[in-house]
Every structure is written in C-alpha cells, then in structure tokens.
Structure 1
Amino acid sequence: MSRTVTSRTVLSRTNPHEQGPSRELSRRGLLKTAGGLTAALAVGASAGTAAQAAPATFTHPGMLHASGELNRAKVRVAAGDDPWLSGWNRLTANGHSASTWNPNPQATIIRGGTGENYGTLYNDIHAAYQNALRWKIAGTTANGDAAVRILNAWSATLTTVTGNADRFLAAGIYGYQFANAAELMRGYSGFDLARFKTMMLNVFYPLNNQFLTVHNGACITNYWANWDLCNMNSILAIGILCDDAAKYDQAVNYFKTGAGNGSITHAVPFLYDSQGLAQWQESGRDQGHTMMGMGQMGAFCEMAWSQGEDLYGYDSNRFMKAAQYVAKYNLGQDVPFTTYTWGTGQSCAQQSHTAISSGSRGQVRPVWDILYYHYARRRGLSVPYIQAMAESVRPEGGGGDYGTTSGGFDQLGFGTVMYAK
C-alpha cells in the first residue's frame, strides 16, 4: 500500500527537481523485492509547502547502510576481493573496532565552553559503529556484543548535551552517528532499542529541532551549511530509527525548501552548468569544512536513498555539481567563484567572500567513495573529479584514522568497504 502523497508531480519526467526517474523506480523496485517500502515519492518544489516524503513503512536497516550494501560487503570481504578487502583491513586495524573497547558514558556532554568532555562521546560512538560493522560483515559475536555494550551504557546514562553554540554541532553530528550505530544493531539480543530511542528523542532531537527552528537566535544565514546539515541528518536518522514519519518529513522538507544554509539551494548557491559545476556555500571559508559538507550532505542523501528517496539527483543533480566543484579545486585545479554575501549575528550584518579559500586545500577526509559509487556506479554518470578524489583517498578509514581531534570524527567513514560496486 502506498502512502498518500500531495498533488505534486511524482517522479515526472518533466519535473526539473527529479533526475533519473527510471533509475529511482528501479531502486524502489529493489526495495519492494526486498520487502522494503512501497511508498510513492513527492517533491516539494516551492518554499513553505510540505512534501510528504516518508515511506508508509520504513526499511530497516535503512540509514547509511541498507541490507544490499551490507550483504555485498559481507560477500566481497569473505571472497577476499578488492577494494572491499582493503577497506575491511582499514576497519579491523582501527583500535575503535576492537571488541575489547569499554565505554565511558557521561550524564552530561559539553561541547564548547568550560568543562568540555565531548571527545568521550565521539570516541565511543565510533567504537560502537565500527564494532557494529564488524558484526554485520564478519558475524563476530564479540563485536556485536561490544557495540551493544556501548550503546546500552550511553542510553542508561546520558541526559544532557550542552555547552556554548557548539552544543548544536554535538547534537547534530553525534546524533546521526549514534542513530546509525543503533540501526545496525536493531534486533540484536540484549540491545535495549526502546531506551536508546528515548535517549535520541529526549536528548538529541530537541536540540536538533531548536537549531533548525531558531538558529540559536541568530540571523538565518549566520551559521555555515554544516550546522544545518548535521542537525538535518540527526532528525532524519531519528525519524528512521523511531519509524517517525513526521521527523523524516521535517528533515527532507528542510533539505528541499528550508530557509537556512543546509537546504540545497542555500548550500549550493551558484551554478556553472556549462562546466557541470556548482559553488559550495563554505568554499570561501576553507576546504576542510567544505569537504565536511560533502560528507554531511552525502550522508543525508544516502539515508534518504535507503528509504527510496532520491535526493542525490534533486534539482538537476545540484549536489553532484557541487561535489565535482569541490573535488576539482582540491585536486589542484582552478574553478570559478562568485562573490558570496551573507548576513551575520543577530543584526544580519553583511559579510562577503570574494575568492575561494585555499585553506586546508587537499585535506584528506573519507567522504568521497559514497559519492563516487553512487553517481558513477548506481547512476552511470561521468564524475571525473569525484572519481579522482575518491581514488586518492581509497581505501577509506574512519574515526581514529584521521587524527584525534573532533574533525577526524566528523564522518563515520569506511566508504570503500561499504559502498564499492
């Protein structure tokens, strides 16, 4: 049975906001064959109008890794095939994936200001996620037990995420990452999923929702795209984890029509269609945060894809063009740049970037294989710059492989073992 949708065109070949309808229908067909969702998709093309995107029945597992991706990794690693095996070897070599990992849960997590302790949280989340991947791919009970031990410890303890404005980053980044680890362990013996859902709904979602609603009392354009995106990711992931259609719709609608910088037209403000490129909102800031944006929006699109929604191709592949732009520049090549002006603070005082920033140019982040394997392999599109970046980073590692500070844990990683096709 299909979910009732709005009167907008659904997967219309004339709708400029949906690309590749035949491929999307094929994806949905695969999900139906696997017992997944059968809902129709609707597109919100105009601001202020909600598009019902959530499936009538959510697919599980259905976030960064659906059953097809998990099974492919399992089969290919067992066969010793590359690049899956190389990606698997990076996973098993990471200390966070050890089944002996012991969690250190805290009642209060602080990011920003006095008493910061959020490193405890992101290290444990990545340990839970990596142990969950090892359980799913190799079936090792010790890793499954470790993942559950970490998840249960935190859901029994954590009550508050606080700090200065950075608390919203913590709620967003660690919210969606935590939910992804939990989704992989759904149904595992001894995992208290109900208590974990309660933690996500009571600790993380209120901050996610508050940020997207009032942006910490600041001008709507004050915060960079990543601030919106991580909170959008958390709401989307919580919606899937909790089978909550309203939260799923909230996140997807914001991606399409939101007023902040995480929505697609604000995150990608300028198009250079003749070159197949598009400028990213943080490009004038620095390249480290710009590449973080590739990981954040890539994660959002992949989670929606697992539920049958094609946001990768939304608005004539707008995100793909931005990823090509970011990849090309970070490969050492020139790209066009349009002056970007935005309002800051509470008064919306104007600031501008007049040139692309070379700061952190060429930084290595494990955000490219998820994009390459979607656009080049699932969709059969030519993405030479994304491909070259992916090849330069492969095999991708994860948290703990890219330094000990928070930037090395902004993305869950391991795209090579999980997405290679």
Structure 2
Amino acid sequence: MSRRVPPPPDTGRPSRRSVLKSAAALAVAASVTAPRVADAAPAAFTHPGMLHNAGDINRAKVRVAAGTDPWLSGWNRLTANSHSASTWTPNPQATVIRGGTGENYGTLYNDIAAAYQNALRWKVGGTETNAACAASILNAWSSTLTTLTGNADRFLASGIYGWEFANAAELMRDYDGFDLAAFQQMMTDVFYPLNNQFLTGHNDACVTNYWANWDLCNMASVMAIGILTDDAAKYDQAVTYFRSGAGNGSIAHAVPYLYTDADGYALGQWQESGRDQGHTVMGMGQMGAVCEMAWNQGDDLYSYDDRRFMKAAQYVAKYNTGQDVPYTTYTWGSGQNCAQQSQTVISTGSRGQVRPVWAMLHFHYNRRLYLDDKYISAMYYDLVTPEGGGGDYGSTSGGYDQLGFGTLMYAK
C-alpha cells in the first residue's frame, strides 16, 4: 500500500530536518498516495497489517542482518528477553480471571508476550524454532480458553490482551503450523463480546466513569479482531468510536484541552493527567496502537482532528521529562449516577515512568511526516531507547500493557 506524506497542519512546527531535506522529502512525497480519510474499512484488508506491515518486517530483517544500529540494539533487547526463547512452554487456561477472587491472568499476559516475541524472532531472524514456539502458544490457547471473567477489570483483560493476542496471531497467519481459523474463532467468541459490551454499555456505569484507557484498549481489540478476521464491520466500529464515541477514549474526550507553549509547540492535556503519569503514559501506547493499526490499513487517525493525538503525546512527554505544562481542572461524572468529581492539578505520581510506547510515535510523526516532535523525541532518546517489551518493565500487569520493541520495528 503506497502513501503520500500528508502536508503539515497549521498547528505544530515543521521539523528542522524537513527544512534541510525538503527537496528529497518532496520528491518521495510526490511519488505515492495519501492515506484515505477514515470513513470506512478498506475494500480488502492488508496482511500483515496491524502494528507491523511487510515493509517494517523487511527493514528490520535487512538491518539486523547487516548489524546496523539502532535495529541491532533493538534485536539484542528482544533476544535477551526470556519470553523470546523458543523453549517457552505455554500455560493455557480455560477461564482467565482478572479482578476479584482467583485471579490468574498473569498466565495470559506472559504467554502473549512469549507468542509475540517468538513471532518477531521468526519474522526478523528466520528461525523455525521460534515460529513453532509461537504457533504452539497460540494454538494451545485457542483450543483451551472459553471464558474471561472477574470484576470490572475483566474489561481491561478483554481489551489489552485482545489486541495484543491478535497482533501475535497476525504475524503468524502465514505459518503452516498455526491454526488461524481456531484462533479467529476464539477472538470472536471470547474477546469481542466483552469489548463490545464495554464500548456500548460501560459496565452499566456513567459513560464518563471509566478512564480513557478502558475505552482505548477495547477499541484496539475490536479493530485488531476486525483486521485478523477481515471483518469490516468490527474495524469500522473501532474507527467510528475513536472519532466520535461517547466515552473517554474517543479523541476529543481523551484530549479535552489544547494549548500552545512558550516555544510555540502545540500541546493537548490527556484525560488521565490528573490521575497519575503511569496510566497517562499507558494511554500513549493504547491510542498509539489504534492509530498504527489503522495506518497500516490506509487510515490516518494519527492526524485526525488536526493531529490532536500528537499534541497529547507532546504534552505527556514534556511533563514526564521534567518540564512544566499547563493544566485545566478536569471534571467528570462517576459511578452509576454520574456523581461529579474533579482533579484540580496535574498528578506527579509515577512521573517519568518508562514504558515502551514512544518509538512508535516518534518514528511516525518525526520520520514519516517530518514534523518537529521535540518532546516525544526527548522522551524516546533520553529515557527509553532501545525499547524492550513484556518482561523488561516489571513482572506485574503494567509491564505487559504494551508489546514493545519499537526500536527494532519502527526505526527509520
């Protein structure tokens, strides 16, 4: 699928590199076509076409084989992670519980990380043993899992692990030892109903009760399942919700206030900024996943609403690299009766937390679009690179909220 680099908006600043390289950039830009406006699913889905397309995979393969950094450094982070070992043994469960009595969801997120990382090692390194391991993990779960349950947190499980699991399967869809049909059925029967229930009913709570990440992860899962199963209705459901959904994950609600700082950079306050920074950074990864998957199907959500998401990422990155940002009191309705609550100041909780979400954003805005992403770049180069993945950022669920390895797969 070919694309033209879209022209920059009136807000935001052109990158320094784009001024120096404008002739070359324009020559490339003139040779390809623009992403279409995200109004409907593509006539035919592109595969692989979620977090990684064929070009991403080939670039990583060539650069790693040549021993070129930063791809080699990203590859070394992957191969050093125990989840990427071809000897990983899956631990599938018939029932996965997140929230309440009997929690066992750690088995799921660890196996997803292992499936994804082994799939990457196969795609980039060509090792058959990693392919066989990834397929065995995916097949074991699709033949075993029947139920996701727990308290309200079951919707986090259906969302986060839904889009992550589907991404591992997308990488393996052309491997003979992988039962794609059985996996598609599991995603449709076990994950999608909870995704849909949350986005349409919000667990019978006030529509603004749940933080943006709850919407975003379920939206990402719906989109990923739509791509995995070539289901245009599901894909369209996710795109429509991103643009105009009633909950806090839709773009205008996730980024409620816009600013311009003293240096002229456009910023957008993130919905969870008054809560804590760990969840705020998590949001960059969840919305980033939605935008990247859509991009690889030809839809540019990254630039939707005058690049509102970029403004949010710049805001979050600026604050988490130790700089001040403006903050407007955030008020929302909570519980079942929409009781009003407010946050009057930005939270310092977990400020500067490192999660592997920034490579995707930096290499899109700065290297695909030639925009000056000053604060995103600082977050990535000063604190994160080279990005690891699940297992590199703690053993609890927060360390597995994103698949990671963006340096390997997104560097350009």
Fold conserved (TM > 0.5)?
Answer: yes
Aligned amino acid, residue 289 of structure 2: A
Counterpart of 2:266 in structure 1 is 276
Give 1:5-84 correspondences, 5 Å limit. 41-43=36-38, 51=39, 53-84=40-71
CA deviation string 1:199-237 (max 9, x = no partner): 000000000000000000000000000000000000000
Aligned amino acid, residue 164 of structure 1: N
Counterpart of 1:8 in structure 2 is none
Q: 1:28 to 1:124 in 2, by over 3 A?
A: farther
* Percent of matched pairs sharing the same residue: 74
Q: Does 1:112 align with 2:102?
A: no
- Distance between the aligned counterparts of 2:244 and 2:146, measured in 1? 32
- Distance between the aligned counterparts of 1:208 and 1:393, measured in 2? 31
- Distance between the aligned counterparts of 2:121 and 2:29, measured in 1? 26
SS of the counterpart of 1:187? coil
Give 1:138-287 correspondences, 5 Å limit. 138-273=125-260, 275-287=265-277
SS of the counterpart of 1:308? coil
Superposition deviation, residue 14 in structure 1: 12
- Distance between the aligned counterparts of 1:210 and 1:218, measured in 2? 12
The counterpart of 2:80, out of the listed 81, 93, 96, is 93
CA deviation string 1:64-112 (max 9, x = no partner): 0000111000000000000100010000000000000010100000000
Superposition deviation, residue 189 in structure 1: 1.1
Counterpart of 2:20 in structure 1 is none
**Which structure is higher in RCO with an 8 Å CA cutoff and minimum separation 6?**
2
Aligned amino acid, residue 267 of structure 2: L
Unmatched runs of 5 consecutive residues or more in structure 2 = 15-24
- Distance between the aligned counterparts of 2:6 and 2:123, measured in 1? 37
Q: Does 1:309 align with 2:296?
A: no
Give 1:286-325 correspondences, 5 Å limit. 286-325=276-315
SS of the counterpart of 1:74? helix
Task: Work out whether residues 126 and 412 of structure 1, in 8 Å CA contact, stay in contact via their aligned partners in 2.
Answer: yes
- Distance between the aligned counterparts of 2:409 and 2:320, measured in 1? 24
- Distance between the aligned counterparts of 1:347 and 1:92, measured in 2? 50
Counterpart of 2:400 in structure 1 is 409
Task: Work out whether residues 142 and 183 of structure 2, in 8 Å CA contact, stay in contact via their aligned partners in 1.
Answer: yes
Superposition deviation, residue 187 in structure 1: 1.4
Aligned amino acid, residue 338 of structure 1: T
Aligned amino acid, residue 365 of structure 1: R
Aligned amino acid, residue 364 of structure 1: V
SS of the counterpart of 2:73? helix
SS of the counterpart of 1:292? helix
Q: 1:28 to 1:55 in 2, by over 3 A?
A: farther
Superposition deviation, residue 347 in structure 1: 0.4
Task: Work out whether residues 8 and 371 of structure 2, in 8 Å CA contact, stay in contact via their aligned partners in 1.
Answer: no
- Distance between the aligned counterparts of 2:313 and 2:170, measured in 1? 27
Counterpart of 1:47 in structure 2 is none
Counterpart of 2:18 in structure 1 is none
Counterpart of 2:357 in structure 1 is 367
Unmatched runs of 5 consecutive residues or more in structure 1 = 1-10, 33-37, 44-50
Please give the TM-score of this superposition, normalised by the length of structure 2: 0.92
Task: Work out whether residues 16 and 315 of structure 1, in 8 Å CA contact, stay in contact via their aligned partners in 2.
Answer: no
Counterpart of 1:388 in structure 2 is 378
Counterpart of 2:318 in structure 1 is 328
Superposition deviation, residue 29 in structure 1: 7.6
Aligned amino acid, residue 213 of structure 2: N
SS of the counterpart of 1:359? coil
Task: Work out whether residues 125 and 177 of structure 1, in 8 Å CA contact, stay in contact via their aligned partners in 2.
Answer: yes
- Distance between the aligned counterparts of 2:358 and 2:83, measured in 1? 22
Aligned amino acid, residue 398 of structure 2: G
- Distance between the aligned counterparts of 1:297 and 1:13, measured in 2? 22
Task: Work out whether residues 239 and 247 of structure 1, in 8 Å CA contact, stay in contact via their aligned partners in 2.
Answer: yes
CA deviation string 1:334-366 (max 9, x = no partner): 000001000000000000010100000001101
Aligned amino acid, residue 405 of structure 2: F
Counterpart of 2:22 in structure 1 is none
CA deviation string 1:232-277 (max 9, x = no partner): 0000000000000000000000000101000000000000145411
- Distance between the aligned counterparts of 1:338 and 1:118, measured in 2? 36
CA deviation string 1:5-33 (max 9, x = no partner): xxxxxx9999999xx9xx9xx89986x9x
- Distance between the aligned counterparts of 2:29 and 2:102, measured in 1? 47
Task: Work out whether residues 222 and 345 of structure 1, in 8 Å CA contact, stay in contact via their aligned partners in 2.
Answer: yes
Please give the TM-score of this superposition, normalised by the length of structure 1: 0.90
